[in-house]
Amino acid sequence: MKLLTFAHRGEAQAFLSAYTFKPITFFFDGLLKSDDYYLLITGEGPHSASEKTTAVLAKFNDEISEVFNIGVAGSLNSKLKLHDLLWIRTAYAHHAEKLEFKSFTSQTDNALTDCITAYSRVLEIAEKTKLSHFANIVDRELWAIASSARLFKKPYRALKIISDDLQNLNTDICSFVKEEAPLLSTKLLLEFQKSESSPLLKQERIEE
């Protein structure tokens, strides 16, 4: 059984409609289960994502075989545009003006896009430019989720959809996800289902 993780319920809404998920009584809200998947709403940010993913993996370790992180990310590359879908190769993290020592490589064949997780929201173009030296996209959760998966020796995969382009900022991601949720979530679901039926994914390389 696979664990699907989302920061916000809006990102997961198409998945909740496509599969019959039922809430699980747990230490916190946001954990659901279907016949084939666990689904976890982690909340925004690496701390919440790490704590909740780790708790779920500790409790259901024997049942969960793989961890997915699915949701929005900001572009750090001029070739990436709004609503582009990307499978992630490696997760990095940036905290307190430094790059975290550890990185985590996913199990997605042929993925060529790297993602850097920021511990705070990226609110300046200059910050985007600095992070662009390390990865093509930025999010708030992936590195923490990948770290939890590594702790429990679970492979991970990550699918992201672009929420803004390099020269723009989305300073209110919660409102954006709420407004754009039907489209974003449907695109993520269709790409996820395609990967489930054909795990060999092909993507064009993004030039640095």
Six-digit token string for 69? 């992180």
pLDDT digits (tens, 9 = 90+) for 8-59: 999 999 999 999 999 999 999 999 999 999 999 999 999 999 999 999 999 9
**159 Rama class: left (phi>0) / alpha (psi -120 to 50) / beta:** beta
How confident is residue 172, by pLDDT bands cut at 50, 70 and 90?
low
pLDDT digits (tens, 9 = 90+) for 59-107: 999 999 999 999 999 999 989 989 999 999 999 998 866 788 799 999 8
